[in-house]
């Protein structure tokens, strides 16, 4: 067995030896805690395993009771059904997916950029009323989304951006949570660094891009995940601002697809496939930025 692992490469073998050494240093209590945490991790993975397998279940497996986590007879028929459901209409499902990708990328970039700029101004420029402005931004967190629907609709209509990608993106640009999180990180950037950069002739925007942004990268990654999830699953803009069916997004199509399916058999396979399509991008984005998210939680200062 030792020879087999050595064949994998010296780096892998060193990691295995280090892991074994770490395990030997653990006392009984730590081993028990590690064991239960491992069980908890497997338990938390069950929903992901279920949704991945559920999308590939044939119709007779979708209605098994009790439900099974692992598909016995995997099939792509659910995805074929999902794609074929829009063949009789003038808007294919690929159009909904394309709209969602465009809107999500643009909205995520806009939310991260505007949150960073706003937090930079609030953190590094002590203008009159800065505390009042920050308090008002935090106060906006108290308003439920339903209260904002009518004012938001009036603003979008007056701007003339109905039935356009701007109508999807602009209502989501303001992100109070992102401003709060980013400001807390930027407050930890020493002002001495900023003053030294000004003496060297750096412009305001250059200091923002080359000094502040690299330091607060973990916060940016966290905000990007939150923004992506918010934009990818957003249904409000399609419902309120888009009368043209070709401008609506995948979440809206999925909502209309699964409406009133609680006691019916039809389209359950397509709904399962659509749920997987909605879930996978969020999982991939989280896995891609997970190290940065952990750094955000563990960050306690600048060395």
Residue 264 is predicted with a pLDDT of 56
pLDDT tens, position by position, 284-301:
888 877 776 665 555 544
Q: CB of 108 within 8 A of CB of 228?
A: yes
Q: Where are the domains of the chain?
A: 2-84, 93-298
Q: What is the mean pLDDT of the chain?
A: 79
Q: Which residue has the higher pLDDT, 11 or 71?
A: 71
Find tokens 């280090």 and name the residue: 18
Residue 301 is predicted with a pLDDT of 44
Distance CA 21, CA 10 (A): 16
How far is the first Cα of the chain from the last one, in angstroms, to the nearest whole number? Answer: 43
Is a pLDDT exceeding 70 seen at residue 252? yes
Give me the percent of the chain exceeding a pLDDT of 90. 7
For residue 66, cis peptide bond before it (omega within 30 degrees of 0):
yes
Q: Which residue has the higher pLDDT, 184 or 263?
A: 184
For residue 115, CA distances in Å to 123, 139, 280, 297 come to: 12, 16, 26, 19
pLDDT tens, position by position, 137-149:
888 888 877 888 8
Distance CA 174, CA 199 (A): 33
pLDDT level of residue 261 (50, 70, 90 thresholds): low
Find tokens 């730590």 and name the residue: 30
Distance CA 166, CA 102 (A): 11
Distance CA 132, CA 98 (A): 41
Nearest C-alpha neighbor of 253 from the set 112, 266, 267:
267
Domain range 93-298, its CATH number among 3.40.190.10, 1.10.3720.10, 2.40.50.140, 3.60.15.10: 1.10.3720.10
pLDDT tens, position by position, 230-251:
898 888 888 888 888 888 888 8
Distance CA 193, CA 216 (A): 14
Residue 107 is predicted with a pLDDT of 92
Find tokens 């009771």 and name the residue: 65
Distance CA 44, CA 24 (A): 27
Phi then psi for residue 276, to 5 deg, are -65, -40
Distance CA 10, CA 15 (A): 9
The pair of structure tokens assigned to 159 is 């701007």
Residue 66 is predicted with a pLDDT of 77
pLDDT tens, position by position, 92-141:
878 888 999 999 999 999 999 999 999 988 888 888 888 898 888 888 88
Q: Which of 5-19, 64-78, 268-282 has the lowest mean pLDDT?
A: 5-19
Instruction: Return the DSSP state at 243.
Output: -
pLDDT level of residue 77 (50, 70, 90 thresholds): confident
Distance CA 278, CA 250 (A): 8
Rg (CA), the chain: 25
Is a pLDDT exceeding 70 seen at residue 16? no
Average pLDDT over residues 152-180: 89
Q: CB of 242 within 8 A of CB of 163?
A: yes
């Amino acid at each position: 067995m030792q020879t087999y692992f050595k064949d994998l490469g010296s780096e892998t073998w060193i990691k295995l030896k280090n892991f074994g050494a770490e395990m030997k240093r653990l006392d009984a209590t730590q081993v028990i805690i590690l064991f239960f945490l491992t069980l908890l991790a497997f338990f938390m993975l069950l929903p992901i395993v279920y949704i991945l397998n559920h999308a590939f279940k044939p119709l007779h497996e979708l209605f098994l009771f009790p439900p099974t986590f692992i598909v016995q007879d995997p099939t792509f028929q659910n995805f074929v059904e999902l794609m074929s459901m829009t063949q009789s209409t003038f808007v294919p499902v690929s159009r909904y997916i394309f709209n969602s990708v465009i809107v999500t990328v643009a909205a995520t970039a806009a939310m991260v950029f505007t949150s960073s700029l706003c937090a930079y101004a609030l953190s590094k420029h002590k203008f009159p009323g800065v505390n009042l402005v920050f308090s008002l931004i935090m106060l906006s967190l108290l308003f439920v989304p339903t209260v904002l629907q009518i004012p938001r609709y009036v603003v979008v209509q007056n701007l003339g951006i109905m039935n356009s990608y701007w109508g999807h993106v602009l209502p989501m640009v303001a992100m109070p949570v992102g401003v709060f999180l980013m400001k807390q990180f930027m407050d930890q950037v020493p002002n001495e660094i900023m003053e030294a950069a000004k003496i060297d002739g750096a412009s305001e925007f250059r200091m923002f891009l080359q000094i502040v942004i690299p330091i607060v990268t973990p916060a940016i990654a966290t905000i990007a995940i939150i923004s992506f999830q918010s934009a990818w699953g957003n249904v409000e803009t399609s419902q309120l601002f888009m009368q043209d069916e070709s401008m609506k997004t995948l979440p809206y199509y999925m909502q209309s697809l699964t409406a009133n399916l609680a006691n019916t058999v039809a389209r359950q396979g397509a709904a399962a496939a659509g749920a997987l399509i909605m879930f996978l991008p969020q999982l991939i984005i989280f896995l891609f930025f997970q190290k940065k998210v952990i750094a955000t939680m563990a960050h306690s200062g600048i060395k």
